[in-house]
Chain A
Amino acid sequence: MINSLLIFACFLAGLMGSALHLLPELFVRPVFIEVTLFVLLFLVGVGVGGNRHTWELIRQITIRMTLVPILAIVGTLLGVAAVSVLLPGIRLREALAVGSGMGYYSLSSILITELRGETLGVLALLANILREIVTLVSAPLMGRYFGRLGPVLAGGATATDTTLPIIVRCSGPEYAIVAVFSGLVISILVPFLIAALL
């Protein structure tokens, strides 16, 4: 929660600084943003590839577990596609790309901004931050009405870190490995999904 607030505060600081003409032009220069983005993608990869936990987790995977992230992604995309009918200003592919953020708001909003511009990028930032917050706040209700897998699926990419504690509390400790695995797989897939959709 603190992390999402920090990200949002950073976004607001940039917005205010720019709106009040207090920032040097460097921050919005495409070359600067592209180079920083490539550094970020590289570091995300290093984090995933270098995490010993990732490789230990692979040994504990069952076939059923591999279906959990697929279920989360397919369900999200179906839901987003249904809702996009109500949003005539947004194309289906764009709505699906926002949904593919799966709660990974930092990377998804930056990637989408780079591929489709600020409007869709801001939408991705807001929609995915909200996903994390709604999951954190309503995980107990999700567990009660949608089964113990509910909070894991709702958490999306965040199930591996920020929403993991609440998932374990609501779904039980036996869901911890499933949640970490699902969140990790989704986190890896988010950039690929967005790149494929836009």
Chain B
Amino acid sequence: MMNLYIVIFLLLGIVVGACCRRLERVQSWAGPLMSGTVLLLVFSLGAAVGANRLVLDNLGRLGAEAVLLCLGGLAGSLWLGRIVGPRLMSNNSRHDQ
């Protein structure tokens, strides 16, 4: 159910944003408000972690796993880019020659 709400609120925002495109005041409020909610939520994520002994005790392991997942994702996208990239960007890559 949560997944559905995520999609609904995001789509609702896109529609409202597209409708209010010309209202500069809406746009000027949306950015700072978004940064504020992000900071608030990341703060509450930190608070939830601080209250969770299991996560706190495993922060070192989580860090190592994060490094692996990050490097795996980067390597995968770079590898695919190396194979497909030159053909994909052939019109755009005079610098490559």
Binding site for B on A (CB under 8 A): 6-7, 10-20, 23, 27-28, 32-33, 36-52, 55, 64, 67-68, 71-72, 74-80, 82-84, 86-87, 89-90, 95, 98-99, 102, 106-107, 109-111, 113-115, 118-119, 121-123, 125-128, 130-131, 134-135, 142, 145-150, 152-154, 156, 172, 174-175, 178, 191-192, 194-196, 198
**Also in contact, A7 and B39, with CB within 8 A (given A47-B34, A52-B21, A127-B70):** yes
Give the distance to chain B from A86, nearest Cβ to Cβ, in Å. 6
> How many residue pairs, one in A and one in B, have C-beta atoms under 8 Å apart?
312
A33 B69 Cβ-Cβ under 8 A:
no
One of A47, A99, A150, A156 near B17 (C-beta < 8 A): A47
Complex: A86 Cα to B17 Cα, angstroms = 42
Which residue of chain A is the closest to B69 with respect to CB atoms? A127
Looking at B4, B74, B79, which has the most chain A CB atoms within 10 Å of its CB? B74
User: Which residues of chain B come closer than 8 Å to A64, judged between CB atoms?
Assistant: 88-89, 91
